[in-house]
Amino acid sequence: MSPPIAAAWPLSPGPRLHEGLSLRLRGCAGVGAGSPGGCGLLPLLRRLRAMVSWKGIYFLLALFLASFFGSIFMLSPFLPLMFVSPAWYRWITDRIVATWLTLPVALLEIVFGAKVVITGDGFIPGERSVIIMNHRTRMDWMFLWNCLLRYSYLRLEKICLKSSLKSVPGFANTKARSNEFAEKNGLRKYKYVLHPRTTGFTFVVERLREGNNLDAIHDITVAYPQNIPQTEKHLLNGNFPKEIHFHVHRYPVQTLPTSREELQLWCQKRWEEKEERLQLFYEGEKYFDVTGRSIIPPCKSELRVLVVKCISLLYWTLFTLAMFVLLYLYSFVRWYCVTAVVIFVVQQKIFGGLEIIELARHRYFNKRQNGYGRKTE
């Protein structure tokens, strides 16, 4: 079964004040309050308070440590399986990665109290689809997991991001590029979305249709009625979204245009609709649907989602602590950790990532199986 693919384009920001560290100076020993040297610490501490919060430090540190130790001690033992059976390697690693993807969902909703609202068509579990989504922030791809968990899509989801999301720290530069693109091509300038680059979208859809591996397109519009954290820095500041709204439109593959040009126009039309939908959202009551429910209900009840989140939070907390204990107690664990890190770094430098190696192995096995089939005929 082909995984659902989230093809994404960035959107616009709205930075807010954050919560910071609660720091207080009781006095400056040996230096007058008006002196430039002593209580000059106060502005420094104020800047420190503006830079970080304990919430942000905990969130990013928890995700990093769980990801690092998970890669070293849960994923790396299965790397040899990639060369023996790529299919089994993918089956196992999909499930390992899915367990980690539940952690940011648990942290956002349980620890930081984010509310998730899903309206529109919803998802049909097990359906092979391409997900297209606007971007209000650099972090939307992570917040999307809160939506997909409820429809059991986490295990098979794969994300395709624009390269600009990796390097552009904010919205202003990207928005300027979008406006330049609009002027150059005689298009309307958007306020709430950026113009989509349709080449990647049409390529993915065409290739999946050729292999009969596509059932539908899911068009997601994401919005934040209150605060909008733009980058990882805003999360470090403790500026977590209080509400995340997802509106889903499902388009069966049979309804899509067949030619590349028409498919590009179809994609552009969806972004025009997003602009209008988001304008109504932010200038109106700040909801997509007054019912606050999707037409296709999530396959996981909110009670089941809560259980998954609690188990995830407990497991990854205990797992991270256990790995620290093992690293402290046993030298062979430390050597294993160093060896695994070296392997990950070297393969990244030489091949460009494990996914490149895995694709090569899949192609090799498919070619060998096809060749064997022709010989038996």
In tens, the pLDDT along 257-300 reads 999 999 999 999 999 999 999 999 999 888 898 787 888 788 88
Q: Does position 220 have pLDDT exceeding 50, yes or no?
A: yes
| Strands laid side by side in the 243-252 sheet | 115-120, 243-252, 216-223, 129-133, 5-8, 158-161
Q: What is the pLDDT of residues 80-101, one digit of tens each?
A: 999 999 999 999 999 999 999 9
Please tell me the distance from the alpha carbon of residue 69 to that of residue 103, in angstroms, as a whole number: 14
CA–chain centroid gap for 245, Å, is 15
Q: What is the pLDDT of residue 213?
A: 92
- Report the length, in residues, of the chain: 377
Two structure tokens written together for 109:
């909703």
Distance CA 63, CA 59 (A): 6
- The arithmetic mean of pLDDT across residues 356-368, rounded, is 87
d(CA 285, CA 279): 11
Q: For the segment 165-206, what is each residue's pLDDT rounded down to a tens digit?
A: 554 445 555 777 777 877 887 778 888 888 887 888 999 999
Residues 317-324: what's their mean pLDDT? 97
Residue indicated by tokens 């969902």: 105
Instruction: Give this prediction's pTM.
Output: 0.80
For the cut 90, the answer to whether the pLDDT of residue 323 exceeds it is: yes
Question: Residue 116: enclosing H or E segment and its boundaries?
Answer: strand 115-120
Taking residue 252's Cβ as centre, other Cβ atoms within 10 Å add up to 12
Identify the band that residue 125 occupies on the pLDDT scale cut at 50, 70 and 90. Answer: confident
Which residues, in sequence order, are CB contacts of 244 under 8 Å at separation 6+?
A: 114, 115, 116, 117, 143, 146, 147, 222, 224
